[in-house]
Amino acid sequence: MNTVTFSVLSVGILAAAGIGAAVAQPGKAAPPAATEAKLIPGYTYKTPAVTRSPITLKELESLKKTLLFTDEDVKYLRMSKAILADQTDAVLDVWYGFVGSTPELLYFFGNKDTGKPEGEYLSRVRARFGQWILDTADANYDQAWLDYQHEIALRHNKLKKNTTDGAPSVAQVNYRYIPALTIPVTTTLKPFLAKKGASSEDVEKMHAAWVKAVLLQTILWGHPYVKDGQF
């Protein structure tokens, strides 16, 4: 399924579910993506609200090594930022279209009692998701970044899901879907990387770096789901 198809699904399926505020409407510009932390509710990267990750920077480096993640990947992630910065809403339309067309995923944004999608919840997550694109492209793998990955992990797990937005949604995102999303997220991103005139070689290298970066994060987000001492 291509990006145009996903975008149509984003408008059609999600709007039909009563969550049109979270996506672009036909004939209208997509809502602007907030890029400053103070403008994004619940975005707490580099703030005291985030606790320290139980994973060490040394362990992070070992994981990156296992993923064959190198300084070249950092270079190409940062190259991608300028390309993606003004396309984040279009990317989100595609990703939300995929969620909207996949009941197994839309379930995690649904009301725990009625099962109907929670529009405000989806909208608030969307703003943070747009910033996540830029944060991933920044490729700053320091302590603050590592700590925020743990915060994101907690927000998917029953330990903290729904608390950030006060959402009346289901208690947890089942972990099996989190690393699986590496494929649709990175596959649908590739056409956007090619839209600004980058060479085919650079597009391939940016895409490869994104695959590694997303997989790295989804692995880290698995920590709360694993028994102590087994991660």
Tell me the domain boundaries of the chain: 3-23+52-225
pLDDT range class, residue 37, cuts 50, 70, 90: low
What is the predicted pLDDT for the residue at 36? 58
DSSP structural state of residue 54: S
Whole-angstrom distance, CA of residue 4 vs CA of residue 97: 10
Higher pLDDT, 22 or 154: 154
Whole-angstrom distance, CA of residue 207 vs CA of residue 213: 10
Question: The tokens of 220 are what?
Answer: 């880290």
Whole-angstrom distance, CA of residue 97 vs CA of residue 10: 3
| Model confidence at 17: pLDDT above 90 | no
111 phi/psi in degrees, rounded to 5: -65, 135
**How do residues 129-173 score in pLDDT, each as one tens digit?**
999 999 999 999 999 999 999 999 999 999 999 999 999 999 999
| Model confidence at 5: pLDDT above 70 | no
Instruction: Give the closest residue to 180 by CA, choosing from 112, 125, 98, 100.
Output: 98
% of the chain surpassing 90 pLDDT:
83
What is the CATH code of the structural domain delimited by 3-23+52-225?
1.10.490.10
Whole-angstrom distance, CA of residue 149 vs CA of residue 119: 25
What is the predicted pLDDT for the residue at 27? 35
